[in-house]
Protein backbone atom coordinates (compact mmCIF):
# COMPACT_ATOMS: atom_id res chain seq x y z
CA UNK A 1 0.00 0.00 0.00
CA UNK A 2 1.05 3.55 -0.67
CA UNK A 3 0.09 6.48 1.46
CA UNK A 4 -1.81 9.48 0.22
CA UNK A 5 0.52 12.35 1.19
CA UNK A 6 -2.35 14.81 1.47
CA UNK A 7 -4.84 13.04 3.72
CA UNK A 8 -2.59 10.14 4.88
CA UNK A 9 -5.02 7.44 3.84
CA UNK A 10 -3.67 4.14 2.58
CA UNK A 11 -4.00 3.86 -1.20
CA UNK A 12 -3.87 0.65 -3.22
CA UNK A 13 -1.45 1.57 -5.96
CA UNK A 14 -2.46 -1.51 -7.97
CA UNK A 15 -5.79 0.08 -8.80
CA UNK A 16 -4.83 3.65 -8.14
CA UNK A 17 -4.90 5.72 -11.27
CA UNK A 18 -4.49 8.97 -9.37
CA UNK A 19 -0.80 9.62 -9.08
CA UNK A 20 1.78 12.34 -9.51
CA UNK A 21 5.52 12.31 -9.79
CA UNK A 22 7.62 14.75 -7.83
CA UNK A 23 11.41 14.77 -7.61
CA UNK A 24 11.62 11.26 -9.01
CA UNK A 25 9.09 9.74 -6.61
CA UNK A 26 5.58 8.63 -7.38
CA UNK A 27 2.77 9.64 -5.03
CA UNK A 28 -0.71 8.10 -5.01
CA UNK A 29 -3.99 9.71 -4.09
CA UNK A 30 -7.39 8.53 -2.89
CA UNK A 31 -9.34 11.24 -4.66
CA UNK A 32 -8.97 13.87 -7.39
CA UNK A 33 -9.16 16.59 -4.74
CA UNK A 34 -6.10 15.22 -2.99
CA UNK A 35 -4.14 15.07 -6.23
CA UNK A 36 -5.13 18.65 -7.03
CA UNK A 37 -3.87 19.84 -3.64
CA UNK A 38 -0.60 17.99 -4.11
CA UNK A 39 -0.10 19.30 -7.63
CA UNK A 40 -0.73 22.85 -6.45
CA UNK A 41 2.03 22.69 -3.84
CA UNK A 42 3.96 19.40 -3.95
CA UNK A 43 6.77 20.58 -1.70
CA UNK A 44 4.29 21.01 1.13
CA UNK A 45 3.04 17.43 0.96
CA UNK A 46 5.97 15.38 -0.28
CA UNK A 47 7.60 13.27 2.40
CA UNK A 48 5.71 14.74 5.36
CA UNK A 49 7.37 12.20 7.67
CA UNK A 50 10.76 13.80 6.94
CA UNK A 51 9.70 17.20 8.18
Positions in the binding site for Zn ion (CB under 5 A):
4, 6-7, 30, 34
Beta strands in the chain (DSSP E): 2-3, 10-11, 19-22, 25-28
**Nearer to Zn ion among residue 35 and residue 51 (C-beta):** 35
CB of 9 to Zn ion, least distance (A): 5
Q: What is the DSSP letter of 48?
A: G
CB of 6 to Zn ion, least distance (A): 5
- What's the CA gap between 27 and 5, in Å, rounded? 7
CB of 28 to Zn ion, least distance (A): 9
Amino acid sequence: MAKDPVCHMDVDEAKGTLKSEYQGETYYFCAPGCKAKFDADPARYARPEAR
